[in-house]
Structure 1
Amino acid sequence: MAKYNDLDPKKWKEYSDINTDSLWLIEKRDNSGAHSGDYHGNFVPQIPHQLFTRYTKKGDWILDPFMGSGTSLIEAQRLGRNSIGIDLQPDVVQEAEERIRTEQRKNCIVRTVTGDSRTVNIEEVMSSVGIDKLQFVMMHPPYWDIIKFSDNEKDLSNTSTLDEFLESFGQVIDNSTKYLEKNRYCACVIGDKYANSQVIPLGFYCMNQFMERGFLLKAILVKNFGETKGKANQQGIWRYRAITNDFYIFKHEYIFVFKKVK
C-alpha cells in the first residue's frame, strides 16, 4: 500500500473507475447531492474525487485556497477526508457552507475561511483543529480575467496584467504549500486564454510557478470541457468565427499534479 493513499496494489484490477491515463474525457458533471453547477466557474467534482482517491488517505487534511462553491470540500467529505476551504467573498463562503452541511459526515472536519489566500493565516486555522501539516492542496484559481468573480481588488480575476496575476498566484502557492507535508502532493486545475489574436498559455505559466519553487511535476492531465455559461447557445457563432479566422476553440483545460520534495 502506498504511503499517500488507501489503494491496495493487490486489488488493482478492481479499480476500474480510477483514471490512470493523461486524457480525461468526462461526459457530464456530477450534480448529485450538494453539488451544483450554478456557481460561475466551478469545476467538475470528478476531478477532486479522482485526485483525492489517488493522493490522499482517509483522515488526511486537504486545503482548497480557491474554495468557490465548495466542490473540493464536499468530495473530501464523501471520501472521509478533512478539509479547509478559503474564499474572498463572504456570500460565496456562506453558500458553500450551506452546501457542505447538507452532506456533513460525522467523522470529517470541515473549516471554511473568508479571506485572501495570499495572506490569510492558515497556520491559525490549522492550529484550531489540532494539526500542523496538510496532506494535499487543491487549487482551481481564476483563469486570470476570463471570468470576473467579484469587484474585490484582491481577487485574482481583477489583476490587470499577466505578470500581476502570476505574482499573486505565486503568493497563494507560497502561503498554502508551506504547510504541505514533504513528499505529498498538490494539484492545479487551469486553462489557457485567447487575447490580442494569440494564445496565452496560462496553464503552463502557472505550472512554471510551481516548478520554480522546486516542486516535481508528476502529471499533465488534459481534460475536456463543453459548453460554458459564457458561450451558452453560441456554439454556431464560435464555429463560424473559428472557420473565418485563424484560431481554434478551446475545448480543454489542464490538471497539473506536483510533488513537494523540498
Structure 2
Amino acid sequence: MADPMPVTSMWLTCQQPARDQRRGRYVPQTSSHPGKMLPHLAAHAISSYTAPGDLVFDPMCGSGTTLVEAMHLGRQGIGIDIEPRFTALAAANVALAASQGAAGAAQVLTGDATRLLELVPASAVGRVSLVLTSPPYGRGTHGLVQTTSTGVRKRNHHYGDRENGNLAYAGWSRLLDGFAAILAASYHLLGPGGTW
C-alpha cells in the first residue's frame, strides 16, 4: 500500500472544470448521470490510499468514475449500482479505459448495494484496499442546468427509477439506514490496512 497521505481537511484537486476532467476519458453519455464524482478527486484518493494492483471498491458506482480512475492508475476495481442504465454506462466507461490501455481492470455489477455481500465475488472479501463512493443524497441533484428565455431548465437531475428500491427515493430514514447497511457490509471487504 502507498504511504498514506496525512489527514487533511482540504485536497487541492479538481482545479479544472468537470467536463475537461472527463473529455476523452469517459463516453459522452456520462453527462446523463445526475451526480458524478469528479475524476481528479477519485484519482487523488486512489493514488493516496492504494498501490498498483490493489483492489478498489465502489458500492454505488454510478457512471463508473472510481473504476475508470482506478484502472488508469493500475488498480483493480469492483463497482455496484442498482440502476441498470448506470451500470451500462459504467461498463461503457470501463471498456473505454481498457481500450485506452489502462493497466488495471474493473468489474461492474448491477444490484442493490444493501446486499453487496451477496453480489461481490467471494474472492474480494478481505482484499479491498479502498472503498470510495459518492452516494445519492436524495432523489435529485442540480443535474445539467440551462438558462432559456423562459427561465432555468434542468435535465438529468433525478436518480434512476423509484420502483427498483433505489435509496435516492427512500426518504431520509431509509436512505440513512441503507447507507449504514452498505458501509457495514463494505467493512467486511476491507483487507488489512484498508481505508473507507
Q: TM-score, normalised by structure 1?
A: 0.58
Q: Match for 1:177: what amino acid?
A: Y
Q: Runs (4+) of structure 1 moved beyond 6 Å?
A: none
1:120-159 counterparts in 2 under 5 A? 120-121=116-117, 124-127=120-123, 132-147=126-141, 148-149=158-159, 150-159=161-170
Aligned residue in 1 for 2:151: none
**Whole-angstrom CA distance in 2 between matches of 1:99 and 1:82:** 14
Unaligned stretches of 5+ residues in structure 1: 10-18, 187-262
Unaligned stretches of 5+ residues in structure 2: 142-157
Q: Is the 8 A contact 2:78 2:106 kept in 1?
A: yes
Is 1:109 matched up with 2:75? no
**Whole-angstrom CA distance in 2 between matches of 1:107 and 1:23:** 25
Aligned residue in 2 for 1:22: 10
Structure exhibiting the larger radius of gyration computed from Cα positions: 1
* Identity score, percent: 24
Q: Which structure has the higher relative contact order (CA within 8 Å, separation 6+)?
A: 2
**Whole-angstrom CA distance in 2 between matches of 1:45 and 1:106:** 15
1:1-262 counterparts in 2 under 5 A? 4-5=1-2, 22=10, 24=12, 26-27=14-15, 28-29=17-18, 30-35=21-26, 36-104=30-98, 105=101, 107-121=103-117, 124-127=120-123, 132-147=126-141, 148-149=158-159, 150-160=161-171, 162-186=172-196
CA 1:145–1:90: 2 relative to 1, 3 Å: closer
Aligned residue in 2 for 1:240: none
Q: Which has the higher helix share?
A: 2
Q: TM-score, normalised by structure 2?
A: 0.76
1:209-234 CA-to-partner distances (Å, cap 9, x unmatched) read xxxxxxxxxxxxxxxxxxxxxxxxxx
**Whole-angstrom CA distance in 1 between matches of 2:54 and 2:179:** 25
Report the 3-state secondary structure (helix = DSSP H, G, I; strand = E; otherwise coil) of the residue aligned with 2:116.
coil
| Matched pairs, number | 170
